[in-house]
Structure 1
Amino acid sequence: MNQAELIQTRLIENLDYSFPAKPKPLTEAQQAEYIARIKDLLREKNAVLVAHYYTDPEIQALAEATGGKVSDSLEMARFGAEHPAETLIVAGVKFMGETAKILTPNKRVLMPTLDATCSLDIGCPIEEFSAFCDEYPDRTVVVYANTSAAVKARADWVVTSSIALELVDYLDAKGEKIVWGPDKHLGNYIAKKTGADMVMWQGACIVHDEFKTKALEDLKAVYPEAAILVHPESPEQVVNLADAVGSTSQLIKASQELPNETFIVATDRGIFYKMQQLSPHKHFIEAPTAGSGATCRSCAHCPWMAMNGLAAIAEALETGGPKHEIFVDPDLAKRALKPLNRMLDFKA
C-alpha cells in the first residue's frame, strides 16, 4: 500500500457522519403561509430561488413559480451567474452555494442552512486530497462538483455528472492521465467507458451507494416491463442493470424519451417531482436501498437535501447572517474560479 492509499484507508475507516434531524413537517396551512411569505421576500430582496432536483417537491414548485430554476448543479451555477437578481438563495447543499458565490462574488448568496453538506464533500478533506494529488504530480486533477471550494481550487478541472464522461474522454484523447475525486463509483464508470488512465479517490454518495443489486433484480421481476434508470454514482453492479445511466438531467430526459410506462429509478427520490411533472402518465418507483447488509442511512433521499425546508428559506431571506450567508475567501475563490470556468466553457 503506497502513501496515497494509506491516507484514504485511514480517512475512510474513521469517517463518522452526523446526520441532521429532519425538518418538522408543516401542515397545509403552514406551507401556504410560508410560500406566500417567501414570494413577498423574494420580491422585496430582489432575490431568486435556485433549487436542486433532489430538494423536496414544494421547494422545486416554489422555485418554478417565482421565476427561479430547478436543475442539476451545472445549470444551477450557470443560471445563478446569468440572472440579474442581487441575491441568490440556493436550495441544495453547501458546495452549491459556494460555487454560486465563486461565480458571482458581487451577489449575496444565501442558503436555507449552511449545515446542509454532502458525504462526498465530507469524505474528501482538502489536506488529505491534496496529499493524494501530490503522489501523482504528472496527472491532471479532475474533481466532481460535489466538493468544497478548497478542493476545487486544487483541481485543474471541475465537472458535474452531466459532462464528466465527455470531459474525461476529451482529456484522454489528449494523452492526459487523471487523478479523479471524490466519487469512486462515478470514476470507475467513466474509466470503464473511456479507457482513461485514472487513479481514484475512494469517496461515495450515501444515497447512491445504498442501492442493492439483488433487491433491484427482485423488483424488476415484479415489474418486468419497467426500465431501470441509474445514476453513475451507484455501485457498478447496479449500473450494469440499467436501461439508461446518466446525470439527473439525463435521467429525466430518458424518462421522457423511453417508451416504457413504468420506471425503477436509482437516484434520490427528489427527482420524481420533475419526472412526474414532465410525464404525468408514467409510473415511477424507487430503486430499493433495503436488503442484505443495508443500513438505509439515506433511504433514497439525501438527509442534508431534506434540510431545505420552507421555514428555513423564509428565515434565510428575513435574517441572512452567519447561519445562512455564504462567504468564500477571495484568494481561494480566485483559484477555484479557473477550473469552474473551464467546466462552464467546456459545455457552453
Structure 2
Amino acid sequence: MVGILSLASDNLERIRQQVSDHLDKAEQVQRSEQQTQALMDSIAKKLKQEDAVLVAHYYTAPEVQALAEQTGGFVSDSLEMARFGRDHPAKTLIVAGVKFMGETAKILTPNKRVLMPTLEATCSLDIGCPIDQFDAFCNEHPDRTVVVYANTSAAVKARADWVVTSSIALQVAEHLNQQGEKILWAPDRHLGAYVKKASGADIIAWDGACIVHEEFKARGILDLKRAHPDAEVLAHPESPDSVLEIADQIGSTTQIIQAAVSSKASKFIVATDQGIFYKLQQAAPDKIFMIAPTAGNGATCRSCANCPWMAMNELEALDRVFEVGGNEIFVEPALAERAMLPLERMLSFKATL
C-alpha cells in the first residue's frame, strides 16, 4: 500500500507543477461590458439554433452561470448538472465544468451529444487517481467496498462499488459501516478523513487532494475571524482537517448555499472555490461573504481559491463550442454501462433518504 500511496503523492506534486506552469502562461481575458454581452447574445443564439442547453458548475465564472440561467439551462453541482441534462429535451448538452462532469453527463445520457468548451479542463482529483494505479490499490484490498467520489474518471467509477458526491458521502459511509463493510475510499484524502472521523467507519483512503481546497489555511481563517468575530465559517469537506475543525458548518456546494440562507448570521467566511459567490449572493443578497484565506503568493496552486481548469470555461470558448472539433465527450459503451452501476446505486440510496 505504501508504494501505491507514494505514487499518488508524486502525481499530486506533478499536478501542482502543471497548474503553476499553466498560470504562468495564462492570459487574463479583458473585455468591456458591451463585449461580454455581445458574446452572451451570440452563444444564446447558437444554443437555440443547435437545440442545445448549457449546464454550468457553481465554480465557473459568474457570466457563465448567468448565461446558463438566462438561456433555460442550469447551475449546480456535477451530479445535478448531469441529471438536468438527462431530463432536458435538448439534443445537445454543453457542459461548462471539468472533464469528469462531461463524462458523467454522457454516462447518464448516452443518446445525447455532450460538448465542452475545452477537454483540457480537468481536475487534480481525477488525474491524480489514474485507473491503472487505482486498480492495483483495489486489488491489494479485495475485502473492501470501493467508494469513489464523483471527481473521478469514468474508468475509476467503473472499478467502484459506489459513487458518492460530497452531499451524500457521509450517509453512504454510515450505511456501509452499519452493514459491517470496510471501505476503500478515493480519491480525496481530506474528504475521506472527514467521513472516517464522522462515521466511525473502517476506511483506507487514496492520497489525492483538490489543489484549491488544500490551500485553505486555518491560521488565515482565524486571523480573518478575529477581524469579523460575528462571521460563520462555511467549509467544503475537501478542505484540510485543520480548517474543518474551526468550521461552523461543513457541506457540499449546495449545502453551503443552503446553510448561508438558513443561518441567522449576516457574515460568512467561505472555504471553497470563489465561483460559488455568484449563487451565494443570489440566494442571500443581504449577507456578506468573504473568501477564506489561502497561502497567498506562496501558495502552491497560486489560484486564489479559484480552480484554473474551471476558468477555462470562458465565454470565448463557449462561443466556439460548436465549431472547434475535438471537444465532444465519448465514453465507451461497455465502460459507461459498468460506471452506471455504482452511480445508480448512489441515486437509489439517495432517493431513500
TM-score of the aligned structures, taking structure 2 as reference length: 0.94
Per the alignment, residue 301 of structure 1 pairs with: 306
**For the residues of structure 2 that align with 1:161 and 1:107, how far apart are their CA atoms?**
27
**For the residues of structure 2 that align with 1:219 and 1:24, how far apart are their CA atoms?**
30
Per the alignment, residue 331 of structure 1 pairs with: 334
Q: Residue 101 of structure 1: which of 101, 106, 124 is its match?
A: 106
Per the alignment, residue 189 of structure 1 pairs with: 194
| Alpha-carbon offset, residue 298 of structure 1 | 2.0
**For the residues of structure 2 that align with 1:116 and 1:54, how far apart are their CA atoms?**
12
Per the alignment, residue 321 of structure 1 pairs with: 325
| Alpha-carbon offset, residue 133 of structure 1 | 0.6
Q: Deviations over 1:310-336 (max 9, x none)?
A: 11111113x1521x2111111211111
Secondary structure in structure 1 of the residue aligned to 2:18 = coil
| Alpha-carbon offset, residue 9 of structure 1 | 4.8
**For the residues of structure 1 that align with 2:271 and 2:231, how far apart are their CA atoms?**
13
Could you tell me which amino acid in structure 2 is paired with residue 321 of structure 1?
Answer: G
| Alpha-carbon offset, residue 342 of structure 1 | 1.5
1:137 and 2:146 correspond = no
Where structure 2 has 5 or more consecutive residues not aligned to the other structure, the ranges are none
Per the alignment, residue 18 of structure 2 pairs with: 18
Q: What pairs with 1:1-348 in structure 2 (closer than 5 Å)?
A: 2-12=2-12, 15=15, 17-19=17-19, 20=22, 21-22=26-27, 24-290=29-295, 294-317=299-322, 319=323, 321-322=325-326, 324-348=327-351
Kept after mapping to 2: 8 A contact 1:23/1:306: no
Could you tell me which amino acid in structure 1 is paired with residue 335 of structure 2?
Answer: L
**For the residues of structure 2 that align with 1:315 and 1:142, how far apart are their CA atoms?**
37
Kept after mapping to 2: 8 A contact 1:140/1:156: yes
Between stretches 16-25 and 180-189, larger displacement belongs to: 16-25
| Alpha-carbon offset, residue 27 of structure 1 | 2.0
Distance 1:10 1:68, change over 3 A: closer
Distance 1:257 1:37, change over 3 A: same
Kept after mapping to 1: 8 A contact 2:16/2:300: no
Identity %: 62
Secondary structure in structure 2 of the residue aligned to 1:316 = coil
**For the residues of structure 2 that align with 1:343 and 1:231, how far apart are their CA atoms?**
20
Kept after mapping to 1: 8 A contact 2:16/2:301: no
Q: Deviations over 1:184-224 (max 9, x none)?
A: 00000000000000000010000100001111110000000
Any runs of at least 4 consecutive aligned residues in structure 1 with deviations exceeding 6 A, and if so which? none
| Alpha-carbon offset, residue 346 of structure 1 | 1.9
Kept after mapping to 1: 8 A contact 2:296/2:302: no
Distance 1:281 1:2, change over 3 A: closer
Where structure 1 has 5 or more consecutive residues not aligned to the other structure, the ranges are none
Kept after mapping to 2: 8 A contact 1:95/1:149: yes
**For the residues of structure 2 that align with 1:9 and 1:118, how far apart are their CA atoms?**
15
Instruction: Report the aligned-residue RMSD.
Output: 1.6
Q: Deviations over 1:18-37 (max 9, x none)?
A: 23425523221221111111
Kept after mapping to 2: 8 A contact 1:206/1:297: no
**For the residues of structure 2 that align with 1:7 and 1:295, how far apart are their CA atoms?**
19
Distance 1:31 1:292, change over 3 A: closer
| Alpha-carbon offset, residue 296 of structure 1 | 4.5
Secondary structure in structure 2 of the residue aligned to 1:176 = coil
**For the residues of structure 2 that align with 1:50 and 1:100, how far apart are their CA atoms?**
10
Distance 1:63 1:289, change over 3 A: same
**For the residues of structure 1 that align with 2:113 and 2:182, how far apart are their CA atoms?**
38
Secondary structure in structure 1 of the residue aligned to 2:146 = strand
**For the residues of structure 2 that align with 1:143 and 1:166, how far apart are their CA atoms?**
14
Could you tell me which amino acid in structure 2 is paired with residue 141 of structure 1?
Answer: V
Distance 1:239 1:12, change over 3 A: same
TM-score of the aligned structures, taking structure 1 as reference length: 0.96
**For the residues of structure 2 that align with 1:9 and 1:68, how far apart are their CA atoms?**
38
Q: Deviations over 1:37-78 (max 9, x none)?
A: 111111111111000000000011111111111001121121
**For the residues of structure 2 that align with 1:99 and 1:196, how far apart are their CA atoms?**
27
